[in-house]
Chains A and B, each alone.
Chain A
Amino acid sequence: MSSWLDYTINGLIVGNVYALVAVGLALIFGVSRLINFAQGSIYLVGAYIGWVAVVQLHTPLPLTIIVVAAAAAIVGLIIERFGLRPLQNSVRIAPLLATIGISFVLDQLVMLTFSPNPRALPSQLPDVRFQVGGGTIGPLDLLIAGVGLTSALLLFVFLRYSKLGWAVRAASQDRDAAMQMGVDVNRVNQAVFGIAAALGGVSGMLVGMYYNQIDTAMSLQATLKGVVAEVVGGAGNVPGAVIGSLLLGLVESYGVAVFGTSYRNLFAFLLLVVVLVLRPNGLFASARQAPPEPLTGTFIAPSRPVRIPRWALLLAAASFAVLPFFPVSFYVLQTLINAWLLGMLALSLTLVAGTMGQVSLGHAALLAIGAYTSALLSLTLNVPVGLAIIAGGLMSAALGTLLISPSFRLRGHYVSIATLAIGEIVSLVILNWESVTRGPIGISGIPPLSLFGYDLISPTAIYWFSFAVMVVLALLQGRLLSSHLGRSFRAIRDDDIAARAYGLSLNRYKSLAFIFGGFAAGVSGGIAAHLYSYINHETFNTQQSILALTVVILGGLGNVVGAILGAVALVGLPEVFRIAAEYRILIYGIVLLLLVRFRPQGLLGTI
């Protein structure tokens, strides 16, 4: 029994740590309806500023907190002013992409300044421990709890009783109406970003002290857990975020207690999916609350797509087809193979996210399902590789649609978060279902690509094969989009209530989109498995999902040619910047930001 008390206390302690990030995320979401993917990076920046203050300047703790809060707030204000405000009137999805770009840039800046080696961030509090149950808690636990609860309370009071707080709430309910009533929305946004960033910075520093360790990889994890906690509590709801965090901590801790450590995150993400399915607005959304997403499809605003004449497309396709006859290096061909594989994934995502409006952040899971199916079929049952890849595509289509179906009733950002969780769940199942997937050891010795008994091993052959498959998928998708199916998809995206009133069955059409998209992604994963000969649970990770979404937004949502163009650009750019060595991801992030800034509807525009 006493162990359960310990698990409970541990869960609350960790939940406490998550709450610090979740509160900042909730605040920003509450006002600008934006999941700030840069929050984890601000947390990282705060941790390193804290390190400079503590280790180099030897500041006492209260001063350290003030320094970190002020510096992080400045970073937040800069992000708001230069990263997000220019995107105010553009598509809703652009700021989301901008925060991803900003987080690349911030993480890289920290890494370049401080080196990627982890550092110790000594706690400045006396090392006394209080016995609670079978374990102990220290003063830092209390401080973190204090900061979390106090800030949530202060924010609550601020939002409810101060004039600026009213303005914040007014702006979050209806931006245009608030502006008409004389609220300076920019000032509100500034205030919110400053407060959230200060909180994010301080939390990064406190968590660094808590573990006596800071490193540049902490940013993505913080964002992921923070987002989960925030959404469980009810996005945009500050006290809800705190309770959501504690609940997340408890569920993880009990998950470890019952099933073991390697199942920990599985429970975190299952909790999220269950909450979203049962209470799509989070646990603590009141019935009176305005719906979190607009009812009509302003999430993805239509724009005028760039019309590319047919002859130009044919010319481009022909020149890529004959490229291997010219003296190009295998390196270029291999890079393009990567682009074609990413292109297939982007085709899939642009269909479900762009055409259908279901912005998925877990698309790498479809790759993984296709890759594992194809690899295992060809290895254990000696299925010919060509057939195995097709089976991988079909499995991805079936299983992917089945897994994603609980999120069909969700809208806007909630779809993204649910799919993010489903993606993580798939990867954790692969890690833990050892009898089938071989767990962390992975699958090695996957046979190379072959077609009708001929092995495709030269880069030229693989190039043609993957290019052909991608072109076929793209043509099919183009055909699909111009049929009545494509029009129905877009109708649902633009206004699902009107579409339903018109007699369209939303779930059926969403399933169709995921079946087609799942097939394309599964085929891409299958080809990748045979190309690499070795895969494990890390081969298709969250970064892949984020990359795929970046490609799709960059190319123009729903735009088939745009998806392929985006894939070529995002595979090519980091290779082009290779000359810049350690700086290349920084440059990539900046280029991405500039593209979002000046072409928020994507290179070729939304269709």
Chain B
Amino acid sequence: MSNIDRRTLVKGSLAAMMAGAAFSRAAFADAEPILLGVSGPLTGPNAQYGTQWKQGFDLALDEIHAAGGINGRKLAYQFEDSQSDPRQSVAIAQKFVSNPAIVLELGDFSSPASMAASPIYQRAGLVQFGFTNSHPDFTKGGDFMWSTSVSQADEQPLLASYAVKRLGLKKLAVLHLNTDWGRTSRDYFVNAAKEYGAEIAVTEGYIAEERDFRSTLVRVRDANPDGLILISYYSDGALIARQARQVGLKQVICAASSVYSPKFLELGGEAVEDVHVGTRYFPEDPRPEVQKFIAGFKKKYNGQEPDAFNAYAYDAMNMAAAVVKIGGTDRKAIRDAFAKVKDVPSVIFGTATFDVATRRVKGAMNAELVVRKGQFALWDGKPT
């Protein structure tokens, strides 16, 4: 982004605005757009994720509008910054539920912020559609809580199978973010890996602000594993990989899909070469929804590669559109539409259908990637 000339940027967006305006006049004559509320971080320590959401949403909206919108009406979202703070997300929740124009809510990002707002959405009867909420209790908040976040009960066995069955690792060191997500993931991973016959040498949880992993890596080294498992986000994942290589650990590294981002390559540099990543999609994936997403994203954002959070947001907006198409603008009908919606094209799931009992989507796609020459590539089965 920073490399582009400001003038091009202004020209580009002006052109886009004019095109958009002209288009909307033609196609969406007089109807007001259907409004969705988004509660998420735009400032504060998690601000980067809110920015990534926006990119994914905007791309999805462009495509939805190009395809004629929702029954002739546009779809729009109102993004309120919560800083992922429960105090602000509950206020935003009251704001959204008391605005009759809002038919559905997306977010929030962190579990404390999302789940603090759940009772308000549940009582008011507005769907809270949390698409990054992997906390096992999120959808237990009530029948208005739905989530397309990949359940860790689904994802971690896939990663364990990649590490143990495919890569043949027998003794693992697991490093995980010490958050609700990292903890849940670790437990599912450890169970699956043991089931597949691997031994867990050591598990280490670290806090999100941690920068220095050298001493942790000494512990890892002393446990003498043959593989490192990273249940990390891309920035901390890159830090661990770099420091592992710097202190001379040469073991195979295998990381969860949350590191799948061009930033992981940029921040990790040479250290992330040969790192294995279990993901839900990959750039050369022939699936049409993946090709459309990646091509569209690069075109809209000046060649930038999308990452996992962009994909979650893109999928979530498409899901919201599919649901609103069935449910219309009545909040309760929209809740019921989540149970009816079938086989929505999705980057993460291939096609997404909710399991009505858990209000989650099962069966995430699986791709086994490895970093080769500074790029994510499909793993060819060769040992690293």
Q: Do A and B bind each other?
A: yes
Enumerate chain A interface residues (CB-CB to B < 8 A): 3, 6-7, 10-11, 13-14, 17, 56, 108, 111, 114-120, 122, 129, 134-136, 138, 211-213, 215-218, 221, 252-253, 256-257, 260-262, 264-265, 329-331, 333-335, 338, 341-342, 431, 439-442, 444-445, 448, 457, 459, 531-536, 538-539, 543, 571, 574-575, 578, 581-582, 584-585
B79 at the interface (CB under 8 A from A): yes
Known A-B contacts A118-B267, A440-B178, A539-B86; A134 and B116 likewise in contact (beta carbons under 8 Å) = no
Contact A211 B91 (CB under 8 A): no
* B 79-112 contacts with A by CB, 8 A: 79-81, 83, 85-88, 90-91, 93-95, 97-98, 110-112
**Interface CB pairs A-B, < 8 A, 5:** A122-B269, A135-B214, A138-B246, A213-B238, A448-B119
* Known A262-B206, A581-B81: A215·B140 in contact at CB below 8 Å: no
Complex-state Cα separation, A533 to B113, whole angstroms:
11
Q: Across the interface, do A330 and B94 meet the contact criterion of CB distance under 8 Å?
A: yes
Quote the shortest CB–CB distance from B2 to chain A (angstroms): 7
* Other-chain contact of B218, A10, A264, A333, A342 (Cβ < 8 Å): A10
Q: How far is the CB of A551 from chain B (nearest CB, A)?
A: 13
Contact of B141 among A3, A533, A584 (CB under 8 A): A533
Q: Which residues of A contact B43 (CB under 8 A)?
A: 108, 111, 582, 584-585
Q: Is B215 a contact of A256 with CB atoms below 8 Å?
A: yes
> Are B112 and A535 closer than 8 Å at their CB atoms?
yes
Q: Which residues of B contact A252 (CB under 8 A)?
A: 215
**Known interface pairs A117-B48, A584-B81; A442-B180 also in contact (CB < 8 Å):** yes
Q: In chain B, what residue has the closest Cβ to A444?
A: B137
Q: Is the CB–CB distance between A440 and B269 below 8 Å?
A: no
A98 CB to nearest chain B CB (Å)? 21
Given contacts A260-B204, A536-B111, contact A582 B81 (CB under 8 A): yes
Contact with A along B202-242 (1 / 0, CB 8 A): 00111101111111101101100000000000010011001
Which B positions have Cβ atoms within 8 angstroms of A? 1-2, 42-45, 47-48, 51-52, 79-81, 83, 85-88, 90-91, 93-95, 97-98, 110-112, 115-116, 118-120, 123, 135, 137, 140-141, 175, 178-180, 182-184, 204-207, 209-216, 218-219, 221-222, 235, 238-239, 242, 246-248, 263, 266-269
A120 touches B45 (CB 8 A): no
Nearest neighbor of B239 in chain A, beta-carbon distance? A211
Expressed in whole angstroms, the Cα–Cα distance for A26 and B135 within the complex equals 43
- Cα(A360)–Cα(B248), bound, Å: 44
Please judge, given known A-B contacts A13-B214, A260-B204, A331-B98, whether A129 and B246 are in contact too, CB under 8 Å: yes
In the assembled complex, the CB of A132 is this many whole angstroms from the nearest CB of chain B, namely 10
Give Cα distance in the complex from A41 to B15, angstroms.
Answer: 37
Give Cα A262–Cα B215 distance, bound, in whole angstroms: 12
Q: 4 tightest CB-CB pairs across the interface, nearest first? A: A532-B116, A534-B115, A116-B47, A334-B94
CB of A2 to closest CB in B, whole Å:
9
> CA A13 – CA B51 in complex, angstroms?
34
Q: Which residues of A contact B79 (CB under 8 A)?
A: 581
Tell me the bound Cα distance from A93 to B81 in angstroms. Answer: 31
Q: Contact at A256–B141, with CB atoms within 8 Å? A: no
Q: A108-B43, A118-B48 are in contact. Are A261 and B235 (CB under 8 A)?
A: no
Q: Which residues of A contact B93 (CB under 8 A)?
A: 334
Query: A215's contact among B83, B112, B235, B247, by CB below 8 Å, is which?
Result: B235
Contact B209 A221 (CB under 8 A): yes
Contact indicator B48/A444 (Cβ below 8 Å) = no
> Bound state CA distance, A58 and B267, in angstroms?
18
The complex places the Cα of A459 from the Cα of B117 at a distance, in Å, of 13
Residues of B within 8 A of A265 (CB): 207
- CA A351 – CA B232 in complex, angstroms? 42
B91 with A338: CB separation less than 8 A = yes
Residues of B within 8 A of A439 (CB): 178, 183
Q: Are B204 and A135 in contact (CB under 8 A)?
A: no
CA distance A584 to B44 in the complex (A): 11
Question: In the complex, what residues of A have CB within 8 A of residue B216's CB?
Answer: 256, 261
**Distance A221 CA – B213 CA, assembled complex (angstroms):** 15
Is the CB–CB distance between A117 and B51 below 8 Å? yes
For the residues of B in contact with A, the DSSP-based class is helix
User: Given that A261-B216, A459-B94 are known contacts, is A116 also in contact with B118, CB under 8 Å in the complex?
Assistant: no
CB-CB under 8 A from A212, the residues of chain B are 238, 242, 267-269
Complex Cα distance A14/B115, Å? 36
CB distance from A260 to the nearest CB of B (A): 6
User: Which of A262, A333, A581 sits near B204, CB closer than 8 Å?
Assistant: A262
Residue of A nearest to B84 (CB): A538
When chains A and B are docked, how far (Å) is the Cα of A264 from the Cα of B83? 26
Query: Complex: how many Å from CA A108 to CA B112?
Result: 23
Residues of A near B205 (CB, < 8 A) are 260-262, 440
Complex Cα gap A58–B205 (Å):
38
Whether B239 and A115, one on each chain, are in contact in the complex, defined by CB atoms closer than 8 angstroms, is no
User: Of A334, A536, A582, which one neighbours B180 at CB under 8 angstroms?
Assistant: A536
The reply to whether A264 and B210 contact each other, CB–CB distance below 8 Å, is: yes
Given contacts A262-B205, A585-B43, contact A120 B94 (CB under 8 A): no
Q: List residues of chain A with CB within 8 A of the CB of B118.
A: 533-534
A10 to B211, CA, bound (A): 13
- Please, which residues of chain B bring their CB within 8 A of the CB of A335? 91, 94
- Given known A-B contacts A211-B239, A330-B97, A257 and B115 have beta carbons under 8 A apart: no
B48 nearest CB neighbor, chain A only: A116
Across the interface, do A262 and B207 meet the contact criterion of CB distance under 8 Å? yes
B80 engages A578 (CB within 8 Å) = yes
Residue of B whose beta carbon sits closest to that of A536: B112
Q: Is the CB of B218 within 8 A of A135?
A: yes
Q: Are B246 and A581 in contact (CB under 8 A)?
A: no
CA distance A261 to B217 in the complex (A): 10
Chain B nearest Cβ from A109, distance in angstroms: 12
A535 to B207, CA, bound (A): 17
**Distance from B97 Cβ to chain A, minimum over Cβ atoms (Å):** 7
**Contact in complex: A6, B218 (CB < 8 Å):** yes
Q: Cβ of B91 and Cβ of A575 under 8 Å apart? A: yes
The minimal Cβ–Cβ distance linking A393 to chain B, given in whole angstroms, is 19
Q: A239: shortest Cβ distance to chain B, in Å?
A: 23
Are A331 and B219 in contact, with the CB atoms below 8 A?
no
CB B207 to nearest CB in A, in angstroms, measures 7
Q: Look across to chain A and name the residue whose beta carbon is closest to the beta carbon of B95.
A: A331
Besides A10-B215, A329-B94, 9 other CB < 8 A contacts?
A10-B218, A111-B47, A135-B246, A211-B239, A213-B239, A331-B95, A440-B178, A532-B90, A536-B180
Nearest Cβ on chain B to A79's Cβ, whole angstroms:
21
CB proximity of B161 to chain A, nearest CB, Å? 25
* Complex Cα–Cα for A14 and B211 (A): 10
Q: Which of A17, A115, A217 contacts B209 (CB 8 A)?
A: A217
Task: Give the CA-CA distance A445 to B119 in the complex, in Å.
Answer: 10
CB distance from B183 to the nearest CB of A (A): 5
User: Does the CB pair B111–A534 fall under 8 Å?
Assistant: yes
Set A213, A215, A333, A539: member contacting B94, Cβ < 8 A: A333
A257/B81 in contact, CB under 8 A: no
Most B Cβ at <10 Å: residue of A136, A265, A335: A335
Q: Name B243's closest neighbour in chain A (CB-CB).
A: A211
A386 CA to B337 CA in the complex, in Å? 39
